[in-house]
Structure 1
Amino acid sequence: MAHFAPRAALRRAEAHTRYTALMNYDGASRGRRTKGWKAPASSADAAGYGSRRRLRQLSRDLVRNAPFAARAQHLITNNVVGGGFVPSINGAEDPQLRAVLDTHLGTTAIDAMGLNDLAACQRIAMNAVFESGELLVRRRMRLKSDGLTLPFQIELLEPDYLDETKQWNGGNEVIEGIEFDPWGRVVAYWLYDQHPGDVSRTINTKSRRYAAPEILHLRKLDRPGQARGVPWMAPVILTLGEMRDYQEAQITKQRMAALMAFFVESESDAGASRGTGASALDDIGPGAIIELATGQKVTATEPPKVDGYDQFMKQGLSAIASGLGLTYEALSGDLSGVNFSSARMGRMEMNRNIEVWQGHIIRAQFLTGIERWMREAWLLNFGKAADWQLSWTAPRPQLVDPTREIPAMVKEISAGLNSRHGVIRSLGRDPETIDAELQADTFSTAGEIDGE
């Protein structure tokens, strides 16, 4: 067309260029406004490849030394895990299973180190997932002679145990310590015997292969195909670090502002006598009358002012809270600008995040694996397949105003919008335990009446 009608071809090319420009996203342009904007086309795991170790180090340092980072960790762990998810038996009560739950999960028998029960292990796991981005739970099988109710224990391992230098195992690819089969399924984990950062003169740098069924991998999954996690503070690490530096600078300014100094000027070239005037200022106090020498003039220093501190900190904490899925009021503890309605609205939004983390991390990745290991150990120990099912009740959420919220729950039950057991579980309690306690209270009250 350009050969026979060059003018028409030019108009067509011009129209096509304009059409293409109009149909594109402004955000995808490469002009002045997006200059220096890094946007690599990396996969979920490639985005953190080579950066996870540094992110973990910075995250752990902030938790150790930055008050609001430690507050964020405690806040998330307390809300997601609290006192721990409580197991309850679906269907009829099984005395044998109840004894196993009480003696194995409810005591330190579940912990390979013998320090924590399952509830405490949940707290440690959630702390690690927040701080390091992920956690590994290893099953350690035991002999019947060890005297455990179920012949297994669990060991909690930080992601530092993963051998990220391992690349291949036969025909299987190993990426950052995780072995995949040709179909992309996780089949094993390569773990060090010791923490690489441990204080020891004999660090063993050799890793071992552990089959995937022996390991539980806890992390927050945000993208399809993601295998590894990143510290939750990754989006706000720079902001937290800068706010910590800003706070230290403001504290230094406040200390300087608290100091009072004077400059003494004298018209005499030789300076004034130290008997009065300048020397008298050393002992200045409330209500003091200082006599200056002839020709002396005293000028007080003007301390630096600390302006805009509250507004800056509030905006910074608001951004950090948003990046972590929390509310500003929960992170800062500042409730000066909220009432019942606004506090409840903010809490409801945060509760949605809490429920997601409870379901996707603690229930799906941790407790489901614990129940699977219990079933396998049950078969080994009792010689029969487990014919029971467990439900895991999340910790009780704190009510903003019980006098308003509890009557609303009662109305839900009366209207058939919820069951009594469902409401009890939403409050973090076990319905079977509540029913047993109510029955015991009724029996005790009836006995007292008969005794009278």
Structure 2
Amino acid sequence: MKHWSRADGLSAAAANSPDVRRTLRNRSRYEVANNSYARGITLTLANDVVGTGPRLQMLTANDAANRFVESEFYAWAESVGLAEKLRTMRLSRVADGESFGLLTNNQRVDAAVKLDLRLIEADQVASPTLSPDTGRYLDGIRFDADGNPIAYDVLRNHPGDGLFLVDDEFDTVPAAAVLHYFRCDRPGQIRGIPDITPALPLFAQLRRFTLAVLAAAETAAEFAGILYTDAPANGEADAAEPFEPIELEKRMLLTMPGGWKMAQMKSEQPSTTYAEFKKEILNEIARCLNMPFNVAVGNSSGYNYASGRLDHQTYFKSIRVEQSQLARVVLDRILHAWLREAILIEGYLPNSLRTLDSTFEHQWFWDGHEHVDPAKEANAQKIRLASHTTTLAIEFARQGRDWETELKQRAKEIALMRDLGLTIESETDSPSEPDATEDHAEDAESQTA
């Protein structure tokens, strides 16, 4: 009954009320700021999801226009620090549950397009004082009749600032200029809660257990020795005052009363189960983030090759899902806003792209994940290409690279090597073994072709 006493039938919005989210944010931020494991886990997750930043590939019919937009968008992304801001947004989702970005105009941006992304914390998107929440207005967000957000109320000062007043001023920002990044776990949920919410009690248990073990070890270390006797009660032993401390001199011999012995206290901490307990707690903490244990703790000493591969498959699937959401919720809207601003610049974009009436097909490339055994992965890649079960576009995309760019670069390298008289490995491959069967020879010829 005590376990289920907290269960309720509240809606997603009511269960994640402003007071509840404020408490969860404060506790999550405290753990991430003061717990080494929590900090490392969140940093690893942000680095794996965002990496060095996404790369744009335009897929319109005009190749020259595609290359121009990709180059200009990359230069703009570098000037505004887009990759760093995306990593910050992912970090905020872990500790705050959500992150907000405002699309603004910044004249100091070192690019032709002056669009900028300004991040704000979840605390600043809130209902102003004395503004009642209704079905169309909740937690600082205004909705239309279909449930679509149409405007956000953003406090000009952070509620945690010393300059913040109870009736502080706010700005109403249209939804087209606001990026709201969070994970929706329930239908009707409009605000996010920290990703590490289920792990907050576990962080406390981990800290309490570690401090208890440390206190026990320190207590044992405080005693230089213990005076004890093997004589039975009322046996033959000189009288000794119970619990009387004896001051020891350095490098001196010491005589004990008759029938008494001096022994050093044996420390029983940490016990053999200490490491196992911490491992289980950390494994449970990392589970709510879909992160394997060896990635969470940065230690793969207990893993073999197969276990590492199997655990990472689940983790990388989760990463791909998050990258897809980040591309849809944040990057696609940023690209649309960037193109809209670029069109307003006379003579900037190619003529084929100077309209938003058509859909600009594109895709985003993210950093690839290094394989545990590069030789095995290269051999598997060779077999997939030979059996026509994959394409160069797919294989390069797994590494976060554009296949067209890489092939053009490789063609330049091969041409230069031939001009310099350098041998190309593919042209000097050794023939098949003399004892190879005819079928093997035919397979080798087909693969070469």
Deviation of residue 77 (structure 1)?
0.9
Deviation of residue 398 (structure 1)?
2.2
Closer, same or farther: CA 256–222 of 1 in aligned 2, 3 Å = same
Report the 3-state secondary structure (helix = DSSP H, G, I; strand = E; otherwise coil) of the residue aligned with 1:41: coil
Determine what percentage of the aligned residue pairs are the same residue: 22
Within 2, Cα distance between the matches of 1:320 and 1:409?
Answer: 35
Equivalent residue letter for 1:188: A
Within 1, Cα distance between the matches of 2:299 and 2:106?
Answer: 50
Deviation of residue 367 (structure 1)?
0.5
Q: Which of 35, 52, 57 is equivalent to 2:21?
A: 52
TM-score (structure 2 length as normaliser) = 0.80
Deviation of residue 87 (structure 1)?
1.4
Deviation of residue 150 (structure 1)?
0.8
Deviation of residue 164 (structure 1)?
3.4
Question: 2:443 maps to what in 1?
Answer: none
TM-score (structure 1 length as normaliser) = 0.80
- Is the 8 Å Cα contact of residues 192 and 204 (structure 1) preserved in structure 2? no
Question: 2:299 maps to what in 1?
Answer: 334
CA distances 1:144-191 after superposition (whole Å, capped 9, x unpaired)? x97741131110111111123468699973211111123321101100
- Is the 8 Å Cα contact of residues 55 and 74 (structure 2) preserved in structure 1? no
- Is the 8 Å Cα contact of residues 153 and 173 (structure 2) preserved in structure 1? yes
Question: 2:11 maps to what in 1?
Answer: 43
Q: Which of 81, 84, 92 is equivalent to 2:53?
A: 84
CA distances 1:49-108 after superposition (whole Å, capped 9, x unpaired)? 12111111111111111121112202211211111111123251435424422321122x
Equivalent residue letter for 1:198: D
- 1:254 equivalent in alignment to 2:217: yes
Report the 3-state secondary structure (helix = DSSP H, G, I; strand = E; otherwise coil) of the residue aligned with 2:249: helix
Question: 1:218 maps to what in 2?
Answer: 181
Question: 1:399 maps to what in 2?
Answer: 371
Closer, same or farther: CA 225–172 of 1 in aligned 2, 3 Å = closer
Please show how residues 105-144 of structure 1 align to structure 2 within 5 Å.
105-107=77-79, 110=80, 117-142=81-106
- Is the 8 Å Cα contact of residues 58 and 361 (structure 2) preserved in structure 1? yes
Deviation of residue 252 (structure 1)?
2.2
Could you tell me which runs of 5 or more consecutive residues in structure 2 were left unpaired when the two chains were aligned: 229-236, 348-353, 423-449
Within 1, Cα distance between the matches of 2:159 and 2:120?
Answer: 12
Deviation of residue 321 (structure 1)?
1.8
- 1:206 equivalent in alignment to 2:169: yes
CA distances 1:396-438 after superposition (whole Å, capped 9, x unpaired)? 1121221112221222222222210111011112223312321
Report the 3-state secondary structure (helix = DSSP H, G, I; strand = E; otherwise coil) of the residue aligned with 1:188: strand
Equivalent residue letter for 1:283: K
Matched positions, count: 400
Deviation of residue 258 (structure 1)?
3.4
Question: 2:328 maps to what in 1?
Answer: 364
Deviation of residue 289 (structure 1)?
4.0
- 1:426 equivalent in alignment to 2:389: no
Deviation of residue 125 (structure 1)?
1.3
Closer, same or farther: CA 401–147 of 1 in aligned 2, 3 Å = closer
Question: 2:148 maps to what in 1?
Answer: 185
Please show how residues 199-348 of structure 1 align to structure 2 within 5 Å.
199-200=162-163, 205-263=168-226, 267=238, 278-279=246-247, 281-284=248-251, 289-292=253-256, 298=262, 300-307=264-271, 308-348=273-313
- Is the 8 Å Cα contact of residues 88 and 432 (structure 1) preserved in structure 2? no
Equivalent residue letter for 1:102: Y
Within 2, Cα distance between the matches of 1:37 and 1:296?
Answer: 57
Equivalent residue letter for 2:393: H
- 1:437 equivalent in alignment to 2:409: yes
Q: Which of 117, 120, 124 is equivalent to 1:161?
A: 124
Report the 3-state secondary structure (helix = DSSP H, G, I; strand = E; otherwise coil) of the residue aligned with 1:83: coil
Moved more, 428-437 or 128-137: 428-437
Moved more, 37-46 or 80-89: 37-46
Deviation of residue 264 (structure 1)?
5.8
Could you tell me which runs of 5 or more consecutive residues in structure 1 were left unpaired when the two chains were aligned: 1-31, 111-116, 272-276
- Is the 8 Å Cα contact of residues 138 and 156 (structure 1) preserved in structure 2? yes
